[in-house]
């Protein structure tokens, strides 16, 4: 329920309140999303920038992304590597290839490796554990992130014990009916939510996230996304614009916009000041300066690609994806230049979330709730 005070506020005041308290009601999020003007978008972005600088300074964390398999048993309606897309040339990297991506990454200064792939049954728990253990042994000072979809709690436990620190599993949407619209019927929103809860309980640093402007998304579903993130308190949140892929059911749908993505990045920063918030490749794809603008709107993470050049063009979740022809060193050098141009700096660091300043968000939440009573 909104507090009495909240219902009377205009959008600018709500943004200011979010900046101070990091907490709003579902209906206030709806109001912000429905009524905000261009000036209020700017206000949100500048408050978010201030908030990021307070917590993280001008440093931007980097993670080396290894897209190690594009086989997938699922048929998500939006995704270019869905099982039934016959145009995709499928590939898997071997353990040796994955380790040499890490080697190259380490040399380039990356201290987090993100292993991302489709839900590929070839990569059994045994194989994943074997690979992850080898990375853990070779790079004890690095963080390992997995992003391989929905698994059982037991599987997640095994990965954790093998040395995985973080897990990315976008929730895609916090609205069950919308989830069903985006996915075939064998996939379930409840299961996805259960996975996220289990990952957190096991002790992973957890990342969720969603696409901006996905088909069927409304102010109501987006407000639920924001409210979900406020309640779930993930360590990371990956958002980027939806971009149609020509061979999918959503080929003719409109892409998500730059402005809306930047606004949502800003809101997420205000909801959780120490959130790890990437400026994604999708954002860099819809606009040449998308990632820089993302950083200037509250994002503080970049995930350049470490996959071998030969496989890059095969991992196309959407059309026109950038960086598919570059060497890893090239991707990193380009980003370094782009960041320098906006006064930000790429960090060589594991890039864990900073502790919340004086536990400010919890303390504020307590005062908020007390007032609601």
Residue 166, marked binder: no
| C-alpha span between 322 and 41 (Å, rounded) | 27
Stretch of 19-27, 137-145, 236-244, 261-269 lying at the interface with ligand 5AD (CB under 6 A): 236-244
Judged by CB under 6 A, the chain residues 274 through 293 that form the site for ligand 5AD are: 282
CB of 248 to ligand 5AD, least distance (A): 7
Does the footprint of ligand 5AD cover residue 170 (CB under 6 A)?
A: yes
Question: Pattern of binders to ligand 5AD over 19-58, x per CB under 6 A?
Answer: ----------------------------------------
In DSSP notation, 337-363 reads HHHHHTT-EEE-S--PPPPPGGGHHHH
Does the footprint of ligand 5AD cover residue 318 (CB under 6 A)?
A: yes
Considering only CA atoms, which of 238, 217, 227, 77 is closest in space to residue 169?
A: 238
Does the footprint of ligand 5AD cover residue 211 (CB under 6 A)?
A: yes
Stretch of 19-27, 64-72, 226-234, 242-250 lying at the interface with ligand 5AD (CB under 6 A): 242-250
Tokens for 111?
Answer: 């201290």
Tokens for 83?
Answer: 């099982």
Considering only CA atoms, which of 237, 234, 324, 322 is closest in space to residue 281?
A: 322
Cα distances (angstroms) measured from residue 290 to each of 89, 265, 293:
28, 12, 5
Does the footprint of ligand 5AD cover residue 311 (CB under 6 A)?
A: no
CB-based contacts of 182, cutoff 8 Å, min separation 6:
76, 77, 78, 172, 173, 214, 215, 216
CB of 116 to ligand 5AD, least distance (A): 7
Whether the CB-CB separation of 331 and 323 falls below 8 Å is answered with: yes
CB of 234 to ligand 5AD, least distance (A): 14
- Give the residue, chosen from 56, 78, 113, 204, that forms a contact with ligand 5AD under the rule CB under 6 A: 78
Stretch of 238-246, 291-299, 348-356, 364-372 lying at the interface with ligand 5AD (CB under 6 A): 238-246
Of 43 and 229, the one with the shorter C-beta distance to ligand 5AD is 229
Residue 76, marked binder: yes
Considering only CA atoms, which of 180, 250, 237, 189 is closest in space to residue 353?
A: 237
Residue 79, marked binder: yes
| C-alpha span between 81 and 133 (Å, rounded) | 27
Whether the CB-CB separation of 241 and 282 falls below 8 Å is answered with: yes
Count of chain residues binding ligand 5AD (CB under 6 A): 12
CB of 143 to ligand 5AD, least distance (A): 19
- Give the residue, chosen from 242, 307, 331, 339, that forms a contact with ligand 5AD under the rule CB under 6 A: 242
Whether the CB-CB separation of 266 and 48 falls below 8 Å is answered with: yes
Whether the CB-CB separation of 295 and 287 falls below 8 Å is answered with: no
Does the footprint of ligand 5AD cover residue 245 (CB under 6 A)?
A: yes
* Partners of 278 in beta bridges: 301
Of 61 and 242, the one with the shorter C-beta distance to ligand 5AD is 242
Does the footprint of ligand 5AD cover residue 195 (CB under 6 A)?
A: no
Residue 237, marked binder: no
Considering only CA atoms, which of 323, 276, 343 is closest in space to residue 55?
A: 276
Does the footprint of ligand 5AD cover residue 167 (CB under 6 A)?
A: no
| C-alpha span between 118 and 138 (Å, rounded) | 25
Residue ranges of the annotated binding site for (3R)-3-methyl-D-ornithine are 147
Residue ranges of the annotated binding site for S-adenosyl-L-methionine are 172, 192
Residue ranges of the annotated binding site are 72, 76, 79, 147, 172, 192
* Residues that bind ligand 5AD in the complex, under the rule CB under 6 A: 78-79, 170, 172, 211, 240, 242-243, 245, 282, 317-318
């Amino acid at each position: 329920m909104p507090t009495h005070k909240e219902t009377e506020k205009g959008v600018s005041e709500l943004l200011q309140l979010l900046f101070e308290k990091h907490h709003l009601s579902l209906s206030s999020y709806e109001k912000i999303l429905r009524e905000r003007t261009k000036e209020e978008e700017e206000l949100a972005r500048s408050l978010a920038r201030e908030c990021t600088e307070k917590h993280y300074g001008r440093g931007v964390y980097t993670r080396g992304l290894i897209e190690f398999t594009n086989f997938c048993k699922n048929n998500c309606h939006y995704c270019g590597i869905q099982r039934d897309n016959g145009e995709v040339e499928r590939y898997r990297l071997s353990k040796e290839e994955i380790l040499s991506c890490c080697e190259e990454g380490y040399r380039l200064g990356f201290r987090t490796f993100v292993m991302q792939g489709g839900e590929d049954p070839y990569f059994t728990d045994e194989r994943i554990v074997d690979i992850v253990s080898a990375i853990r042994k070779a790079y004890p000072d690095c963080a390992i992130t997995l992003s391989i979809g929905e698994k059982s709690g037991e599987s997640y436990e095994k990965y954790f014990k093998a040395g995985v620190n973080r897990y990315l599993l976008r929730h895609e949407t916090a609205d069950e009916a919308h989830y069903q619209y985006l996915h075939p019927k064998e996939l379930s929103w409840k299961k996805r939510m259960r996975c996220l809860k289990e990952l957190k309980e096991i002790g992973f640093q957890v990342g969720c996230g969603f696409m901006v402007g996905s088909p069927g998304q409304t102010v109501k579903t987006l407000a639920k996304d924001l409210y979900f993130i406020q309640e779930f308190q993930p360590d990371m949140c990956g958002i980027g614009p939806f971009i149609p892929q020509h061979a999918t059911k959503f080929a003719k749908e409109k892409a998500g916009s730059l402005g809306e993505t930047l606004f949502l990045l800003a809101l997420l920063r205000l909801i959780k000041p120490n959130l790890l918030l990437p400026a994604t490749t999708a954002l860099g794809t819809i606009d040449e300066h998308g990632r820089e603008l993302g950083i200037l709107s509250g994002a503080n993470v970049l995930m350049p690609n470490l996959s071998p050049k030969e496989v890059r063009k095969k991992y196309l979740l959407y059309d026109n994806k950038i960086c598919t022809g570059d060497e890893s060193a090239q991707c990193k050098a380009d980003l370094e230049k782009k960041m320098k141009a906006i006064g930000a700096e790429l960090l060589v660091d594991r890039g864990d979330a900073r502790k919340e300043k004086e536990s400010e968000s919890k303390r504020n939440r307590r005062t908020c709730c007390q007032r609601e009573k």
